[in-house]
Amino acid sequence: MALPVVAIVGRPNVGKSTLFNRIVGERIAIVEDRPGVTRDRIYSKAEWRGRIFSVIDTGGLDIGAEDEIVQRVRHQAELAIEEADVIVFVVDARDGVTPADEAVAELLYRSGKPVVVAVNKVDNREQADAMYDFYRLGFGEVYPISSLHGTGVGDLLDAVFAHFPEEEAEPYDEDVIRIAVIGRPNVGKSSLVNAILGEERVIVSPVAGTTRDAVDTRFEREGQAFVLIDTAGLRKRGKVYETTEKYSVLRALKAIERCDVALVVLDGQQGIVEQDKRIAGYAHEAGRAAIFVVNKWDIVEKDDKTADRFVEKIRDEFAFMPYAPVLFVSAKTKQRVHKILPKVVDVAENHAMRVPTHLVNDILAEAMVLNPPPTHNGKRLRITYATQVAVKPPTFALFVNDPELMHFSYERYLENKIREAFPFEGTPIRIVLKKKS
C-alpha cells in the first residue's frame, strides 16, 4: 500500500528543515541558519493519527536565481511537488509576504495539489498578528507555527491529514510474494526482469535510466504466485534533477515499501559503488528481505576465486546486511537466473517466520550463560523475558531492567545467537527493548 506523500516547500531560510525534523522526530535534515544548506530532497517517514506517511524536505525555491546549484535545488523542489499528495508551504512570519513567496505560490497554484500554509517563527503575539497577511496568498486557512519549539505543529498536521488520499486495500493476496528489483541505473534490472519472466515484458535499453516508473507483473511458478515490481533506476543524489527522472526515486522507494523481497542488483563488471550501498540501505531500513544479485557475471574476467573475492567485498561494503545471500547471474545469457525464484521463496518464508516464545527464551538464556550481559556504572543488564511480536521483518521484544544498559555490541551478539538457532537467512531482524515495569 503506497504511503501518502507530504512535500515541505518554500523559499530559502524559512525553517523547512527544522519543520521536517520536528515532524519526523529526528534531526535528519541539516539545519543551519543560512540559505541553500539543504541541497537535495530528503525522505523520511512519520506518523499522525495512526497514519504513516512519507515526508520530503526540499531545498529553498529561489525562483529567479541564476546560480547552477540554486537552479538544481529549485528543480528538486519542483519534482517533490509533483510527487506529493499534499504540500506544506512554509513562510516566515517575521518577513511577511515577500515577492519570493508570491512566486512560489504561483508555482503551487499550477501544481493543482492541496496546499497547507505554515506561517513559521510565530513566537509571540506580535508575530501571531502578522500571520493574517498570508491569507492574501490565496490558499485559505493559514496555520501559525514555531517549528523550533513545536507550537502549532499538531494543528498543521491535522490540516495535512485531512487531504490524505483514502487508504487503498492491498491488491494482492497474502500468499503472493512481492519482489522489488532495485539498483542504480544500467545494472540490468529490466533485462533481469525479462530473464525471470522468460519473455520481453519490459523495454530494455542500454541507455541508463530508461525505466521511469514501477511496473507490476503478476505470474506463477510451480504453484507459487509472485508479483515482480521493476523499479526505476536510482540515481546518485545530486543527479536526480533531470526532468525525465521525475518520479524514479520516490517510486522506487514506494516499491520497496510494498515488497516482501528486494533483489538488490549489482553490476559484476563495474563492481560496487557508493550508490549501491545507499540503495541497499533503503531496503534494509524498510525491514525488507533482500538478496544481492550480481548481474553481468558472463563478461567478468574470472578465476576460481573471483566469486569468493566478490562475496568478501559485498560483506565488507554492506556490513549492515550480513544476512543477505548472494547470487551471481547473467540476465543476458540467463546463466543461473533459475536460482533466483527458489531463493526468493526461501527468504520470503524466513521473513514471515514466527518462533515460539519458549524457544526464544531458551536461546537467549543460553546466550547469557555463555556471555553474561555487560555492566555499566555497577549496574548489570537483566533480560527477564523475550517474545516475537511481529513478522516481516521478524521482531523480538526483550523485557529488561534498564534499556540504557544494552550495548549495541551485546544486542548484535544476541541477534547472532538467534540467527544461529533459526533459519533467518535473507531477512533483517529487529530487537525492541522494553523496560520491565
36 appears as a binding residue in the annotation? no
Q: How many CA atoms lie within 13 A of 157 on its CB side?
A: 21
297 appears as a binding residue in the annotation? yes
13 appears as a binding residue in the annotation? yes
287 appears as a binding residue in the annotation? no
45, 23 Cβ separation under 8 angstroms: no
Q: How many CA atoms lie within 13 A of 285 on its CB side?
A: 11
232 appears as a binding residue in the annotation? yes
- Cβ-proximal residues to 214 (8 Å cutoff; 6+ apart), any chain: 180, 229, 230, 231, 232, 251, 252, 254, 255
183 appears as a binding residue in the annotation? yes
268 appears as a binding residue in the annotation? no
154 appears as a binding residue in the annotation? no
123 appears as a binding residue in the annotation? yes
CB atoms under 10 Å from CB of 269, counted, come to: 15
306 appears as a binding residue in the annotation? no
158 appears as a binding residue in the annotation? no
- Cβ-proximal residues to 415 (8 Å cutoff; 6+ apart), any chain: 429, 431
- Cβ-proximal residues to 292 (8 Å cutoff; 6+ apart), any chain: 264, 266, 280, 314, 318, 324, 325, 326, 327
188 appears as a binding residue in the annotation? yes
120, 14 Cβ separation under 8 angstroms: yes
114 appears as a binding residue in the annotation? no
341 appears as a binding residue in the annotation? no
14 appears as a binding residue in the annotation? yes
194 appears as a binding residue in the annotation? no
184 appears as a binding residue in the annotation? yes
Dist CA 7 CA 56 (whole Å):
5
**Angle between helices 357-370 and 408-421 in degrees, nearest 10:** 120
Task: Give the containing element (helix H, strand E) for 33.
Answer: none
Backbone angles phi, psi at 349, to 5 degrees: -65, -40
61 appears as a binding residue in the annotation? yes
124 appears as a binding residue in the annotation? no
144 appears as a binding residue in the annotation? no
Would you list the DSSP string of 287-352? Answer: T-EEEEEEE-GGGS---TTHHHHHHHHHHHHTTT-TT--EEE-BTTTTBTGGGHHHHHHHHHHHHT
189 appears as a binding residue in the annotation? yes
195 appears as a binding residue in the annotation? no
230 appears as a binding residue in the annotation? yes
Residue 272 Rama label (left phi>0; alpha psi -120 to 50; beta): beta
16 appears as a binding residue in the annotation? yes
Residue 13 Rama label (left phi>0; alpha psi -120 to 50; beta): left
Length of the chain: 437
152 appears as a binding residue in the annotation? no
25 appears as a binding residue in the annotation? no
231 appears as a binding residue in the annotation? yes
- Cβ-proximal residues to 267 (8 Å cutoff; 6+ apart), any chain: 186, 187, 188, 294, 295, 296
58 appears as a binding residue in the annotation? yes
10, 89 Cβ separation under 8 angstroms: yes
Task: Give the containing element (helix H, strand E) for 387.
Answer: strand 383-390
Q: Binding-site residues for GTP, please?
A: 10-17, 57-61, 120-123, 183-190, 230-234, 295-298
Residues in the annotated binding site: 10-17, 57-61, 120-123, 183-190, 230-234, 295-298
